[in-house]
Chain A
Amino acid sequence: MSAHDDIAAPETLSAYLDGELSVDRQEELEAHLEQNPESRRRLEAMRRVIDGLHQIEPAMPPPTLEHFVTRQIALERERIHWLKRLEGSFSIFGNRQSPIMMLFGLIIALSLFVYYFAVAVERQRGDSIPVVVGPADQGRAVGERLELAGRVLFWEGEAWHQQRVGAPAREIALATDEGRAWLASHPELEPLADLGEPAVIEVAGEVVRVRPAAGGDREMPAPAGR
Chain B
Amino acid sequence: MTAVTSQASADLALAQRHRHGDDRAFDEVYRRFAPMVYNLALRLSGRAEVAEDLSQEIFIRIFRHLGRFNGRSSLKTWIYRVTVNHCRSRLGRRRWLTRPLAEDDADFGVQLVDERRDPESRTLAGDVGRRVAEGLRLVKPVFREAVVLRDLEGLSYQEIAQVLGVRLGTVRSRIARGREQLRVYLEQTDEAADQADAKS
Contact = CB atoms under 8 A, between A and B. Distances in A.
Given A53-B152, A60-B114, 15 more contacts: A14-B179, A14-B180, A45-B186, A46-B179, A46-B183, A52-B126, A58-B39, A58-B152, A59-B38, A69-B30, A69-B55, A69-B56, A72-B59, A73-B59, A76-B64
Interface stretch (B3-11, B82-90, B100-108, B128-136): B128-136
A39 to B, nearest CB: 13
Contacts of A45: 183, 186-187
Nearest to B35: A61
Secondary structure at the B interface, as helix, strand, loop or mixed, is helix
A10 interface: yes
Contacts of A60: 35, 38, 114, 116-117
Contacts of B147: 53
B116 A57 contact: no
- The size class of the interface chain A forms with chain B is 35 or more
B172 interface: yes
A54 interface: yes
Interface of A: 9-11, 13-15, 18, 20, 42, 45-46, 48-62, 64-66, 68-69, 72-73, 76-77
A52 B132 contact: yes
Given A56-B132, A61-B34, A14 B175 contact: yes
Contact of A59 (B64, B113, B176): B113
Interface string B23-39: 10010001000110111
B56 A68 contact: yes
Nearest to B147: A53
A46 B26 CA distance: 40
B124 interface: yes
B150 interface: yes
B26 A73 contact: yes
Interface in B47-86: 48, 52, 55-56, 59-60, 63-64
A62 to B, nearest CB: 6
B191 interface: no
Contacts of A59: 35, 38-39, 42, 48, 113-114, 117
A14 B172 contact: yes
Contacts of A20: 157, 172
Nearest to B177: A10
Question: 9 tightest A-B contacts by CB?
Answer: A55-B129, A59-B114, A52-B132, A14-B176, A53-B151, A61-B38, A11-B176, A52-B128, A55-B125
B150 A62 contact: no
B98 interface: no
B151 A65 contact: no
